[in-house]
Amino acid sequence: MTRPEEPVGEPEAVLGRMARCRLVVVIRSPTSADALDVGRVLLAAGVAVLEVTGTTPDACGVLAALRREAGAEVLLGVGSIRSVDDARRADDADADFLVSPGSPGPLTEAMLATGRLVLPGVFTATEVMQARAAGARAVKLFPASLVGPTGLRALLGPFPDVSFVPTGGIALNDVAGWLDAGALAVGVGGQLAPPTLHCDNETTALTARVRAVLDELSRPSAP
């Protein structure tokens, strides 16, 4: 499925918007209803780039519902893509970007064939080279907590033409450090997207936490 009427969906344009937002919030919930609840709160709080993991039940249905409510004002992606069928379903759901935890050749090629922005998962220099050779312009560095900003700086040395989005185990107070190390954007999960919200107090606390992070990232002094 394509959206020719919305050129913003072109991979480079999506990547540019992601770079300007600098934060990708990742939802991983036990039910689609939980994911929708969390997603709606995040969008209302101002999150502009949201990823729903494929391990969330009916992730593509969640994305479609959020798309109807938010329109093209936000970027919505599907993560944890592990098969060609997963990639096709994400494409059919009109995802702006597709994310995988790894980068096996056939999967990366299938993701790229959708014409969407893709972020194949990488951890080593060899995996970066393989993803780049397949045609990927950007990659997901995962699990980022095992590499750290210093590792990202090292990878950017031989790969200055690759955009890295570190994800996995990143604390909120480490986001600025990753951006300073050269990350295009940073993926944050549970600290900004809890699996479930049980009461109004949790919703209020999450909204305040998200707005504080977005405010910090919007300051001119932030990396």
Per-residue pLDDT, 9:
63
Decide: 50 and 39 in contact? Cβ < 8 Å. yes
Catalytic residues: 51, 140
Q: What is the mean pLDDT of each run of 10 residues along the chain (223 residues)?
A: 46 96 97 97 97 97 95 94 96 96 96 97 97 96 96 97 96 94 97 95 96 89 45
CATH 3.20.20.70 given to domain 7-216: yes
Q: Where are the domains of the chain?
A: 7-216
Per-residue pLDDT, 223:
42
178 burial (CB, 10 Å; 0-12 / 13-18 / 19+) is buried
Q: Which amino acid would we find at residue 127?
A: E
Rounded-to-integer distance, Cα 65 and Cα 153, Å = 38
Decide: 134 and 31 in contact? Cβ < 8 Å. no
Per-residue pLDDT, 45:
96
Per-residue pLDDT, 5:
38
Whole-number Cα distances in Å, 133 to 105, 128, 153: 10, 8, 21
User: How much is the pTM?
Assistant: 0.92
Cis ω before 143 (30° cut-off from 0): yes
Rounded-to-integer distance, Cα 201 and Cα 179, Å = 31
Structure tokens, 64: 């479609």
For the chain, the distance separating the N- and C-terminal CA atoms, rounded to the nearest angstrom, is 36
Per-residue pLDDT, 200:
94
* Rg, the chain, Cα only: 16
Rounded-to-integer distance, Cα 210 and Cα 192, Å = 6
